[in-house]
Amino acid sequence: MRRLGRPIPKLEVSAEEREALENWARRPKTAQATALRARVILGCAAGTTNTAVARELRVTKQTVGKWRSRFVAKRLDGLLDEPRPGAPRTVTDAAVERVVTLTLETTPRDATHWSTRGMARQCGLSQSTVSRIWRAFSLQPHRTETFKLSPDPLFIDKVRDIVGLYLNPPDKALVLCVDEKAQIQALDRGQPLLPMRPGQVERRAHDYVRHGTTSLFAALDTQSGRVIGQRDRRHRTIEFRKFLDTIDAAVPEDLDVHLIVDNYATHKTALIQRWLAKRPRYHLHFTPKGASWINLLSAGSRCSPRSSCGAASIAARATSGTRSTTIWPCTTKRRSPSCGPRLPMSSSPA
C-alpha cells in the first residue's frame, strides 16, 4: 500500500491579491524577503508543486510550504513580518502627555522657556527621552518667530494700488520705490586694511573710530533695477525735499513719476505738499501702516548702506558736510524692454 504524504492546502488567489503580489515582486524598493515570498505564492498559484517552486527559486521545500500555509491562513497579511519582541516600554503615554502639556502651557521659574534638561528634571525623565518627545511632536521652545498685522483700515486698497503699479505700470510713467536709512554710523578702522590674498581673506582691525552718523536716501526703479542714491548728514524734511529735487533732475520731463513711500512723517509735511503741488506729474503712494515690506526697496534691495557707502570706511564722506548723489546699477532681475521707460545712467549733481 502506497504511503500518502502530508496534504498540501489548496491555494487560490483573487485578482486583487495577484496584482498586489506582482507589485511586491517587481517593485525595486520592496524588501527582498517580501519579494521572495510573493514569488513563492505566485508560483504555487500557477499550479506548480512545492518542489518545483523551491527548485526554481533556489529555496527549500520547507520554506515554500511555510509561506504557502501562512498565505492560506492569513492571506496577504501572512506574508508580512510580525512585530518582533523587545523590551517593554518604560515611558508611558501619560508621561509623554505630561511633557507635551508642560512644554505648551507652562514656563520654568528661572527661564523664559523650557530646556531638555530642565524638563527632564521636572518630569523625572532623561534628557534624551525629552528630546525624542519634542522631536516627535515638532516642539521647539527655544525658537520664536515674529509677525505683524497691519492696523490700516485701507490695507487691501493700498496693497492693490501698489501691486498694480508693479505688475501693470501706467504708460509714459516711471515707478520708483523710495526709502531712507537714517543714523548710519560712519566708522573708520584704527589700522589700515590688509588686502585679500590667495588663500587669505581681507583682514581689518577690530577697533574703530566714530565719525558721527549719516543718512542714505534711495529710489529704486522697479523696471530697470537702477537706484538713485543720495547721502546727507541729517534726515529731515528739507533733506527729503532735496532728494526729491535729485529725482526730478534725473527723470525725463515727459514722464509721470509714481513714488511708493512709507508713512514716515517727513513725507507728509507742508513743505513736501507744496513741492508736489508745483509738480503735478508726481504721485505719492503710501504703503499700509506696519506693512513697509511691500516697498521693494525696503523688502529686498541689494543696494545696502554697506555696499553703497563703502565697506572699508565712510568717515570722509560722512564728515565732509557735502551731499553725494549716485545712480547705481542694482542686481535685481531686469525685465523686458517693453515694460516701460528706464532711468538714464548719467549721474545728476545735487
Q: Which of 78-87, 93-102, 216-225 has the lowest mean pLDDT?
A: 78-87
pLDDT of residue 337: 42
What is the bridge-based pairing of β-strands 208-221 and 226-232? antiparallel
Q: With 80 as the cut, is the pLDDT of residue 308 above it?
A: no
pLDDT for residue 55: 86
Residue 157 pLDDT class (50, 70, 90 cuts): very high
The Cα 100–Cα 189 span in angstroms is 51
Percent of the chain with pLDDT over 70: 83
Report which of residues 48 and 127 the model is more confident about.
127
What is the pLDDT averaged over residues 190-214? 88
219 CA to centre of own chain: 26
CB burial readout 152-161, b (16+ within 10 A) else e: beebeebbeb
Give the Å distances, CA to CA, from 141 to 107, 117, 236, 279.
10, 13, 43, 55
pLDDT given for residue 348 in this prediction:
40
Identify the H or E element spanning 349: none
The predicted model gives 240-244 an average pLDDT of: 93
What separation in angstroms does the CA of 164 have from each of 170, 220, 264?
9, 16, 22
Mean pLDDT across the stretch 149-173? 92
